[in-house]
Chains A and B, each alone.
Chain A
Amino acid sequence: SAVISQKPSRDICQRGTSLTIQCQVDSQVTMMFWYRQQPGQSLTLIATANQGSEATYESGFVIDKFPISRPNLTFSTLTVSNMSPEDSSIYLCSVPRGAGDINEQFFGPGTRLTVL
Chain B
Amino acid sequence: GQNIDQPTEMTATEGAIVQINCTYQTSGFNGLFWYQQHAGEAPTFLSYNVLDGLEEKGRFSSFLSRSKGYSYLLLKELQMKDSASYLCAVMDSNYQLIWGAGTKLIIKP
The dominant DSSP class at the A interface is strand
Q: Is B60 positioned at the interface, with any CB of A under 8 Å from its CB?
A: no
Binding site for B on A (CB under 8 A): 41-45, 92, 101-110, 112
Residue contact A42 to B101, C-beta cutoff 8 Å: yes
Binding site for A on B (CB under 8 A): 30-31, 33, 40-45, 48, 50, 87, 91, 95-97, 99-102
Give Cα A109 to B96, complex, Å: 21
Give Cα A109 to B43, complex, Å: 9
Contacts of A108 in B (CB 8 A): 42
Contacts of A107 in B (CB 8 A): 42-44
Q: Which of B33, B95, B97 contacts A45 (CB 8 A)?
A: B97
Residue contact B87 to A42, C-beta cutoff 8 Å: yes
The dominant DSSP class at the B interface is loop
Residue contact A105 to B97, C-beta cutoff 8 Å: yes
B13 to chain A, nearest CB (A): 24
Residue contact A109 to B102, C-beta cutoff 8 Å: no
Contacts of B99 in A (CB 8 A): 42-44
Residue contact B48 to A109, C-beta cutoff 8 Å: no
Chain A, residue nearest B96 (CB) = A45
Residue contact A103 to B50, C-beta cutoff 8 Å: no
Give Cα A8 to B89, complex, Å: 27
B66 to chain A, nearest CB (A): 15
Q: Which of A42, A45, A101, A109 contacts B50 (CB 8 A)?
A: A101
Q: Which of A43, A44, A109 contacts B87 (CB 8 A)?
A: A43
Name 26 interchain pairs, CB-CB below 8 A, sorted by A. A42-B99, A42-B100, A42-B102, A43-B43, A43-B87, A43-B99, A44-B99, A45-B96, A45-B97, A92-B42, A92-B43, A101-B31, A101-B50, A102-B48, A103-B91, A103-B95, A104-B33, A104-B45, A104-B48, A105-B97, A106-B45, A107-B42, A107-B43, A107-B44, A109-B41, A112-B40
